[in-house]
A and B are shown apart, each in its own frame.
Chain A
């Protein structure tokens, strides 16, 4: 396993501006993630998170720079990189089974129908939708639809899962259960996952690394926060952990104040070597290591 399974190398995105010039959403963005890690990107609305994710997915192209996944520069979309869309994006004329089978048969074109359905069924079971196979998306609740989206992404056994605010449209209770499921499944399968969220607690529960982006336009990746909470953390007990408030305050502080002032106050920020911090109680960062934190 390389330490740079995903490597975003100096990408920029510019859009033509009204007055002839161009607006830079972000530029010179470097970011990397090892295999099996869960990364969350947090930043204010409009800073370019979706754009980064879409470039990673291959749905959008950077104006400059490249993205390297598993040693190869990406071009266009790939079955290796599954996307869970914010709006779930299920095909409404297909059933739950039909939606997942569509993905499965797209990946394994030579499989016959029974094999496709059997494979799809295991993922339907995995997300707890057994019994709803023949329902149309319109007959499902928001949470169930998002489960189908997750099952569809998982069913093609991608190398990377990309999620754009997958739970933001759900109520808190459903969101919680789905977070549990995503955490369970990604830990089980060692899935490399990249997720956008606005929910600090969600990031703290799910992510190994949290990428903090400053406000756009001209957004930069300001800091990489390593999650000091133990790997076997549970959502319910998260706030009881000694490092919980240190981590949470650090992120909130960034979002509330530093995200606006960062560019002005940090003139020597090197986008290729973004500082890695590990907020902890009672004192400053220790050497980064995933299992060093104790309960």
Chain B
């Protein structure tokens, strides 16, 4: 039954996908009438508009272009023309670095907050104020103080991924079952060993959930951040291709952003499953 449900779902997914491609193809195939377009816009859109073909690329155009990209993902023809693989690698690298720093800061701090009611109360106002700030609002300040666009992007990733991890760690640590703590207490286990042998495994699923939320936010934010700071990365690529009026490339980039985001989420989901224990 489960098997057949999965099978039927796959069939429906494929059907939806084919229908989408079909509609897309039909919608972009007809020639748009040049007359209805404002002359200024026609000028702006250049050849594609005036030649009568739709400005919106069809699925076949995108497919062909994607194939081209996939064939040579890592070419480098100067600052404005790099392979998609390189651009993605830049973005993933920034996310990875900013995220790693956030892990290093958030998890120990979360432990401290979760284990100490005093620190919990003392730090709470700061967290409450800092948490709702849009990560991009930090950008000017980061650029001004760090004076390096790439590092600023990393800082923005750090600041946006730190909160879910911090709050989840603190919550997970504070919510560890009293009886498990009591087991450690009756065995005279010291604070440090207790943190690693009881609290960490008990809170790990909650911590990993926070880490999973964080990676999702970080990947959302990196595209915007790279649009702002420019230079390299998939966000910059999208912006650059928009300026080049290559909607085909923009669509391809959107697709890849989605796929990479999904993969990052799946990796964290797998880690979460690894540390989750049945009760």
Q: Does A156 contact B (CB under 8 A)?
A: yes
Closest Cβ of chain B to A40, distance in Å, is 20
Which residues in B have their C-beta under 8 angstroms from that of A59? 182, 185-186
Select one of A57, A92, A93 contacting B186, CB under 8 A. A57
Bitwise interface map of B from 258 to 279 toward A, beta carbon under 8 Å scored 1, else 0:
0000000000000000010111
Expressed in whole angstroms, the Cα–Cα distance for A107 and B187 within the complex equals 7
Q: Which residues of A contact B201 (CB under 8 A)?
A: 91, 93
CA distance A182 to B1 in the complex (A): 47
Complex Cα distance A85/B179, Å? 8
CB–CB A92/B278 < 8 A: yes
Are A91 and B186 touching (Cβ within 8 A)? no
Decide: A78 and B188 in contact? CB cutoff 8 A: yes
**B202 in contact with A106 (CB, 8 Å):** no
Nearest-neighbor residue (CB-CB) of B198 within chain A: A91
Is B180 in contact with chain A by the CB < 8 A criterion? yes
Q: Which residue of B lies closest to A89 (CB)?
A: B179
Please indicate which of the listed interface residues A57, A83, A156 has the most CB atoms of chain B within 10 Å of its own CB. Answer: A83
Interface size on B, residues (CB 8 A): 18
Q: Mark A48-85, 1 if CB is under 8 A from B, else 0.
A: 00000000011100000000000000001111011101
CB contacts (< 8 Å) of B177 on chain A: these are 89
The CA-CA distance from A89 to B180 in the complex, in Å, is 6
B182 CB contact (under 8 Å) in A85, A102, A136: A85
User: Shortest CB–CB separation between residue B264 and chain A, in angstroms?
Assistant: 25
Instruction: Report the number of A-B residue pairs with Cβ-Cβ less than 8 Å.
Output: 54
Q: Which residue of B lies closest to A158 (CB)?
A: B186
Q: How far is the CB of B201 from chain A (nearest CB, A)?
A: 5
Chain A residues whose CB sits within 8 angstroms of the CB of B185 once the complex forms? 58-59, 76-77
Q: Does A138 contact B (CB under 8 A)?
A: yes
- Given A89-B180, A91-B198, A91-B201, A138-B187 contact (CB < 8 Å): no
B197 neighbours in A (Cβ, 8 Å): 102
B186–A82 contact, CB under 8 A? yes
CB pair A136 B187 closer than 8 Å: no
Check A77–B188 contact: CB distance below 8 A.
yes
* Residue ID in chain B nearest A106 by CB atoms: B187
Nearest B-chain residue to A103, judged by Cβ: B187
Q: Are B179 and A138 in contact (CB under 8 A)?
A: no
Digit string of A84-97 for contact with B (CB within 8 Å is 1, else 0)? 01010101110000
B127 within 8 A of A: no
B183 within 8 A of A: yes
Q: What are the residues of chain B within 8 A of A91 when measuring CB–CB?
A: 180, 183, 198, 201-202
Would you give the 0/1 interface string for B194-229, flagging 1 where the beta carbon is closer than 8 Å to chain A? Answer: 000110011000000000000000000000000000
> B189 contacts the other chain (Cβ, under 8 Å)?
yes
Top 4 A-B pairs ranked by shortest CB distance? Answer: A106-B187, A138-B278, A89-B179, A93-B277
